[in-house]
Structure 1
Amino acid sequence: TFEENALEKAESLARFSGIPSLADDSGLEVEALGGAPGVSSAHYAGRHGDDAANIARLLKEMEGISGEDRKARFVCVLALAGPRGEKLLVREACEGRIAEEPRGEGGFGYDPVFVPRGSSRTMAELGLEEKNALSHRGRALRRLRELLEKGEPAWLFSSLE
C-alpha cells in the first residue's frame, strides 16, 4: 500500500539517522482499472520513471471507457517516523478523471492525462500555484503543516528537545 511504502522509507531513514524522518509514496488510482496503477504508478509500463510509456499503457487500458467511468484519484501518503518507532501517517487525495489524450507541457508523471474535479484542464495545463493548491501532495503537506502547527505529534516535539 502507499502507507506501507511511505512508512518503510521513513522508518528506515529514522533508524539509520537517529532523527525523525519524513517520506512519501504517491500514485494514481483509476476506478475502472480496480485501483491500478496504484503503488506501481512509476513503473506501470515496466521501466521506472518512463512517463510517456506509463501514460500510453494507461490510455490503452482505458480504451472504450468513457464519461463517469474514467474516475481517478492521485493519492499521497506522508509518513513521519521517529527513531524509537514513533509514526504518523497523513493521506490525502485529489479526485478527478482520466482525459482521452495527453494535454499540457507542465508537471510530470500522469499530469498530462489527469483532470482534477471541477476543472476542464489537465494538471499539466495548470500553473504551478494552481496545481499545488489542488494536488494530492499539496493537500498532504498542508495537512501535515496544520498538525505540526498544533504541536502534533507530541513525540516529535519531545524528541527535538
Structure 2
Amino acid sequence: MDSERARRRIVLATNNPGKVREFRRLIEPAGWAVVTPRELGIAFDVVEDGASYAENAVKKAQSCADAAGALALADDSGIEVDALGGGPGMYSARFGGPGLDDAGRTALLLERLAGVPAEQRTARYRAVVALAWPQAAGRPAVTFEGVEEGRIGFAPRGGRGFGYDPVFELPDGRTQAELTDEEKDAISHRGIAVRAALAWLAREAGG
C-alpha cells in the first residue's frame, strides 16, 4: 500500500498559491495526491531562463522531481496579446519587473493598451505542462499544451482567479475572474493542458 501511495503522488513544481489551488482542483479528482515543495520541506527556486514555455516547464519539473524523488508536474504559462506582438508571453509573471504584484502587472498591461480599440485587443492564455521523473528513473519528461482564446478588456472585473484573469475577457463578455472555479477549470489553458497530461498518465503510465 505504501508503494501504491508513492506511485500516485504528484509533486507540484510551484509554490504559487493560485496555481496550487487550480492544480489541486484539476488533479486530485483523478486519484492523485498533490503535494508542494513547501509541504515537503524542499527549497524550490528555479531560474526560468529557457527559450520556450516547454523548456521552462521541463526545467522546473525536472528540478522538483530530482529534489523530491518523485513524479513532478510544472507549468509555464503566459498571456499573449496580439497588439503587443504576442507579449508579455513567457515574461507575463515578470512583466514590469519584480516590484509589481498581479494588480500592478494588470494595470501596466492596460496602460500599454491605452487607445487600442476592442477589436484589436485579441489575446490568448497559453500553458505548457511538463511531467518529469527523477533522473534515476531514466524516463524523459513529457509536455502538453493548452490554449484559451479571448481579448483584453478595458478595466478589471471580478474577484476570482489570479494573474491577468480580471481583464481577460471571454466570448460571452465575462472576464476569467468572473467565472466559478468549475467554469474556469473547464475552459482554461491550464485545465486543458493538465487534462491532457492526466490522460497521458492514465494511458501510458498506468495512472
**Alignment match of 1:128 (pick from 169, 181, 185):** 181
Q: Distance in 2 between matches of 1:87 and 1:46?
A: 30
In structure 2, stretches of 5+ residues that fail to align are 1-51
In structure 1, stretches of 5+ residues that fail to align are none
Helix, strand or coil: the match of 2:143?
strand
Shift of 1:79: 0.6
Shift of 1:71: 0.8
Shift of 1:113: 0.1
Size of the alignment, in residue pairs? 153
Q: Which residue of 1 aligns with 2:71?
A: 20
Shift of 1:85: 5.1
AA matched with 1:113: V
- Identity over the aligned pairs, expressed in percent? 47
Q: TM (normalized to structure 1)?
A: 0.87
What whole-Å deviation, never above 9, does each CA across 1:7-35 have from its counterpart, x for those lacking one? 10111223333433211111111111111
Q: Is residue 29 of structure 1 aligned with residue 80 of structure 2?
A: yes
AA matched with 2:92: S
**Alignment match of 1:39 (pick from 90, 102, 115):** 90
Would the aligned equivalents of 1:42 and 1:48 in 2 still touch at CA under 8 Å? no
Q: TM (normalized to structure 2)?
A: 0.68
With a CA cutoff of 8 Å and minimum separation of 6, indicate the structure with the bigger relative contact order.
1
Shift in alpha-carbon separation, 1:48–1:10, aligned structure 2, 3 A: farther
Q: Which residue of 1 aligns with 2:196?
A: 143
Q: Distance in 1 between matches of 2:62 and 2:195?
A: 22
**Alignment match of 1:68 (pick from 119, 138, 150):** 119
Q: Which residue of 1 aligns with 2:160?
A: 106
**Alignment match of 1:9 (pick from 30, 48, 60):** 60
Would the aligned equivalents of 1:103 and 1:113 in 2 still touch at CA under 8 Å? yes
Q: Which residue of 1 aligns with 2:42?
A: none
Helix, strand or coil: the match of 1:39?
helix
What whole-Å deviation, never above 9, does each CA across 1:75-108 have from its counterpart, x for those lacking one? 1111112223511100111110000111111111
Would the aligned equivalents of 2:157 and 2:167 in 1 still touch at CA under 8 Å? yes
Helix, strand or coil: the match of 1:104?
coil
